[in-house]
Amino acid sequence: MIAGKLPWRSVVKDENMLITLKKDFPDHPTFRKLPKELRHLYKKLMMMQGPEYVDPKDVIEAFQSAMSRKDPNKSYELPKWLVMPSAN
């Protein structure tokens, strides 16, 4: 299970600091602890130009792949709010 807070969550007022934290997030130890599937998804999303469409299936597949690899006995499931009706 992935838990915790993003490093920039508590930064509210300083926009320059927020930009720096978001830009440097892939080098942060928190990012390196994420499953590789989520790191790849993050990098893919960051490469998008402007308001491009994000296919929700890509996001769900990344989480499902990480869960399958980390939990082969399927002890955990995606939360109900994250499961798409067509994915059943």
Q: What is the mean pLDDT of the chain?
A: 82
Report pTM.
Answer: 0.66
Res. 21 pLDDT band, cuts 50 70 90: confident
Per-residue pLDDT at 45 exceeds 80: yes
Angle of helix 56-70 versus helix 36-47 axis, rounded to 10: 160
Res. 65 pLDDT band, cuts 50 70 90: very high
- What pLDDT, on the 0 to 100 scale, is given for residue 10? 67
> Whose CA is closest to 1, among 47, 52, 66, 65?
66
* Amino acid making up residue 8: W
